[in-house]
């Protein structure tokens, strides 16, 4: 919007600038409405109804985007959260569990954010279908976890997948394999929003088809869309009618995000008037987490602060581990009736994330997105719980994949737990180079996954392969220079070693 106005601002008297900007805003909204109408007119029937619901949400976001004046937070107003607003997990767990946890579990729904593709790891299709351990995919492990709960406690905890238009078809095909598992699985789709030209702020797409050049015209608008799309799907009302009270939401690629009975008990045991409607699991920051969102007190409310909202002058302060000690794991526990109330009151207020992208043809576009955790300020009695690091085990890269495939973790009923043989509670820091980025190539470079129980740090760069039964300890750095190749022989034990281009093995 500023781009559109900036060229004219010099020629408009200062006094009339506000009026001029308002006129431009109205003109842009009017042009956007007309373009969206044209797009809706290209479909009929049920598709048209879905499209109109999606566009209603998009118009609201676009309207707010045009209204934004300056940063969404004033740095001077940021305060540390009150002591009691972020409870240590140990305090929650110390209360113990009731004789029967089944009653609590029957009020719960597990929701996994399943809109992402595996492209960053060189895979086609939904990321949830990548094999991560013993041929099990993210989705397999999730189903195993919930089935184990349902069998152990004789309960009926359903699994809900929030798909995107990118992942819906492939996910639904694979769901048939779980027909005989003791888990009811539901899906709904997050909205489909139009990408907009960076200059004109009008939609890129010419119609609603998802083929050819037009496919680049659409995007799923971030996980903050969960509230509207869940409500619009009718599934929210259906689950409330079944007596469900809370959802546990997490990213499907976070292998630490299992159902925690202590947190669930804490939620359902509160007196009705004091019910906590929103819990955000946070964990202590390390230097690897400096970009993660954090909880702050802002104008009397608990609020999520993301790095994108931080003024440039304060980014280093935001990244500091001493001032902002915790970050958001995106494991969230949210009241279903509260989501329904806020949706119906149109009171769900999340900061807009403006995500600039360049399409393959070189066109600069903008995506307007929101984050699910940003709604924390809208819910009553919201709180953070500072959980152990083990509840945050995301697999974003093949470096993360190496950790979860190794003997650092054991797998039981779909859940990964750190091996008791590891002497330190922290995971090693692993950095694999560009030769390992794609899953298929990564797998060809390991004849078997090395023993990493005593590893602190691993850096691998260049054309490197590992034989069977390699053991890595302490700090290991392996760098093959351009044109060189390093094959780590089977049975090697590398402890505090630097392995350089011509396979010289040096003490670190």
Identify the CATH number of the domain in which residue 345 sits. 3.90.550.10
Q: Is 127 annotated as a binding residue?
A: yes
316 belongs to a structural domain: yes
17 belongs to a structural domain: no
Which residue pairs from 22-31 have beta carbons closer than 8 angstroms and sit at least 24 positions apart in sequence? Answer: 25/1, 25/66, 25/67, 28/1, 28/4, 28/66, 28/201, 29/59, 29/62, 29/63, 29/66, 31/202
For 157-207, how does the pLDDT look when each residue is reduced to its tens digit (9 = 90+)?
999 999 999 999 999 999 999 999 999 999 999 999 999 999 999 999 888
pTM (two decimals): 0.92
386, 407: one domain: no
328, 380: one domain: yes
Place of tokens 């070189």: 362
Environment class of 467 (CB within 10 Å of its CB; exposed 0-12, middle 13-18, buried 19+): middle
CA distance 88 to 107: 24
Give me the percent of the chain exceeding a pLDDT of 90.
Answer: 70
Mode of pairing for the β-strands spanning 471-479 and 493-499: parallel
194, 138: one domain: yes
Confidence band for 13, pLDDT divided at 50, 70 and 90: low
432 C-beta neighbours (distance < 10 Å), count? 21
49 belongs to a structural domain: no
Total domains in the fold of the chain: 2
pLDDT at 505 over 90: no
- Token pair, residue 51, equals 């499209």
Q: Read off the DSSP letter of residue 254.
A: B
Instruction: Find out whether 387 and 89 touch, Cβ atoms under 8 Å.
Output: yes
pLDDT at 5 over 70: no
Note the pLDDT of residue 71: 66
- Token pair, residue 410, equals 């054991």
Q: Is 223 annotated as a binding residue?
A: yes
| Average pLDDT of the residues of the chain | 90
Place of tokens 């001029």: 20
350, 408: one domain: no
pLDDT at 265 over 80: yes
Mode of pairing for the β-strands spanning 301-305 and 294-298: antiparallel
For 370-416, how does the pLDDT look when each residue is reduced to its tens digit (9 = 90+)?
999 999 999 999 999 999 999 999 999 999 999 999 999 999 999 99
Q: Is 173 annotated as a binding residue?
A: no
Taking residues 351-367, report their average pLDDT. Answer: 90
Taking residues 237-262, report their average pLDDT. Answer: 97
Note the pLDDT of residue 11: 47
CA distance 124 to 180: 27
173: part of which helix (H) or strand (E)? helix 168-175
327: part of which helix (H) or strand (E)? strand 326-335
Note the pLDDT of residue 70: 64
Q: Is 396 annotated as a binding residue?
A: yes
Place of tokens 């066109």: 363
Q: Is 222 annotated as a binding residue?
A: yes
403: part of which helix (H) or strand (E)? helix 398-405
CA distance 450 to 407: 8
- Token pair, residue 414, equals 């779909």
Confidence band for 502, pLDDT divided at 50, 70 and 90: low
358, 463: one domain: no
Q: What's the first-to-final CA gap in the chain, in angstroms?
A: 54
Q: Is 15 annotated as a binding residue?
A: no
Which range marks the domain in which residue 459 is found?
398-500
- CA-angle at 315, arms to 382 and 323, nearest 5°: 55
Taking residues 58-85, report their average pLDDT. Answer: 86
Note the pLDDT of residue 10: 45
pLDDT at 15 over 70: no
Report the CATH number at residue 473.
2.160.10.10
Axis crossing angle, helix 45-67 with helix 14-40, rounded to the nearest 10: 170
189 belongs to a structural domain: yes
Phi, psi of 384 (to 5 degrees): -105, 150
Instruction: Give the distance from CA 446 to its chain's centroid.
Output: 29
Specify which of 49-53, 140-144, 351-355 reaches the highest per-range mean pLDDT: 140-144
300 belongs to a structural domain: yes
Place of tokens 């690629």: 253
CA distance 440 to 121: 9
454, 352: one domain: no
Confidence band for 312, pLDDT divided at 50, 70 and 90: confident
138 belongs to a structural domain: yes
55 belongs to a structural domain: no
Instruction: Find out whether 464 and 488 touch, Cβ atoms under 8 Å.
Output: yes
Mode of pairing for the β-strands spanning 131-133 and 78-79: unpaired
323 C-beta neighbours (distance < 10 Å), count? 12
Q: Write the CB contacts of 256 (distance below 8 Å, at least 6 apart in sequence).
A: 329, 390, 391, 392, 393, 394, 416
In the listed set 375, 391, 407, which residue is the last one of a domain according to the structure?
A: 391
pLDDT at 9 over 50: no
CA distances from 95 to 108, 281, 391 (A): 20, 18, 20
170, 254: one domain: yes
Bridge partners of 163? 114, 189
189, 284: one domain: yes
Q: Of these residues, 301, 396, 438, 473, which one is catalytic? A: 396
In the listed set 356, 391, 426, which residue is the last one of a domain according to the structure?
A: 391
Count the helix, strand and coil residues of the chain and give each as a percent rounded to the nearest 5.
40, 25, 35
Bridge partners of 463? 485
233, 362: one domain: yes
Nearest CA to 60 among 409, 454, 347?
347
418, 310: one domain: no
CA distance 380 to 391: 25
Confidence band for 3, pLDDT divided at 50, 70 and 90: very low
pLDDT at 506 over 80: no
Respond yes or no: is residue 172 known to be catalytic.
no
CA atoms within 13 A on the CB side of 490: 3
CA distance 460 to 430: 8
Phi, psi of 270 (to 5 degrees): -70, 145
Taking residues 25-42, report their average pLDDT. Answer: 91
In the listed set 362, 391, 420, which residue is the last one of a domain according to the structure?
A: 391
DSSP code per residue over 440-481? HHHHHTBSSPPEEEEEEEEEEESEEEE-TT-EEEEEEEEEPP
- CA-angle at 401, arms to 188 and 280, nearest 5°: 50
Confidence band for 31, pLDDT divided at 50, 70 and 90: very high
CA distance 229 to 160: 13
377, 407: one domain: no
165, 86: one domain: yes
167 belongs to a structural domain: yes
Nearest CA to 160 among 170, 171, 151?
171
Confidence band for 59, pLDDT divided at 50, 70 and 90: very high
């Amino acid at each position: 919007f500023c781009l559109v106005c900036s060229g004219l601002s010099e020629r408009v008297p200062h006094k009339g600038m506000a009026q001029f900007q308002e006129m431009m805003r109205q003109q842009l909204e009017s042009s956007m409405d007309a373009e969206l109408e044209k797009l809706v007119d290209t479909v009929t029937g049920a598709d048209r109804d879905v499209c109109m619901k999606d566009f209603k949400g998009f118009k609201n976001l676009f309207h707010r985007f045009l209204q934004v004046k300056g940063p969404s937070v004033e740095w001077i107003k940021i305060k540390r959260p009150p002591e009691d607003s972020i409870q240590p997990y140990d305090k929650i767990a110390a209360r113990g569990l009731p004789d029967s946890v089944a009653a609590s579990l029957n009020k719960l729904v597990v929701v996994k954010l399943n809109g992402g593709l595996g492209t960053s790891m060189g895979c086609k299709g939904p990321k949830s279908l990548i094999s991560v351990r013993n041929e099990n995919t993210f989705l397999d492990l999730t189903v195993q976890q919930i089935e184990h709960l349902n069998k152990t406690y004789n309960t009926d905890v359903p699994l809900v997948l929030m798909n995107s238009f990118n992942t819906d078809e492939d996910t639904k095909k694979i769901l048939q394999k779980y027909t005989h598992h003791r888990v009811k699985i539901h899906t709904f789709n997050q909205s489909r929003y139009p990408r907009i030209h960076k200059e004109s702020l009008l939609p890129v797409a010419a119609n609603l088809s998802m083929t050819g050049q037009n496919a680049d015209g659409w995007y799923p608008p971030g996980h903050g869309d969960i509230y509207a799309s869940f409500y619009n799907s009718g599934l929210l009302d259906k689950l409330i009618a079944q007596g469900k009270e809370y959802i546990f939401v997490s990213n499907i690629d976070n292998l630490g995000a299992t159902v925690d009975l202590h947190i669930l008990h804490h939620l359902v045991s509160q007196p009705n008037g004091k019910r906590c409607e929103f819990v955000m699991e946070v964990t202590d920051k390390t230097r690897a987490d400096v970009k993660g969102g954090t909880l702050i007190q802002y104008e009397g409310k608990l609020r999520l602060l993301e790095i994108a909202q931080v003024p440039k002058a304060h980014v280093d302060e935001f990244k500091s581990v001493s001032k902002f000690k915790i970050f958001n794991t995106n494991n969230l526990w949210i009241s279903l009736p509260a989501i329904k109330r806020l949706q119906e009151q149109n009171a769900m207020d999340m900061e807009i994330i403006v995500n600039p992208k360049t399409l393959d043809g070189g066109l600069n576009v903008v995506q307007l997105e929101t984050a699910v955790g940003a709604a924390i300020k809208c819910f009553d009695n919201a709180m953070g719980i500072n959980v152990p690091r083990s509840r945050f085990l995301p697999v974003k890269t093949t470096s993360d994949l190496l950790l979860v495939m190794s003997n650092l973790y054991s797998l039981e009923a779909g859940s990964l737990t750190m091996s008791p043989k590891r002497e330190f509670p922290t995971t090693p820091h692993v950095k694999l180079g560009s030769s390992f980025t794609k899953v298929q190539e990564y797998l060809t470079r390991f004849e078997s996954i090395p023993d990493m129980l005593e590893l602190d740090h691993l850096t691998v760069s260049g054309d490197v392969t590992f034989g069977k039964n390699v053991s890595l300890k302490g700090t290991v750095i392996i760098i093959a220079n351009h044109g060189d190749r390093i094959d780590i022989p089977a049975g090697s034990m590398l402890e505090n070693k630097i392995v350089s281009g011509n396979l010289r093995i040096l003490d670190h």
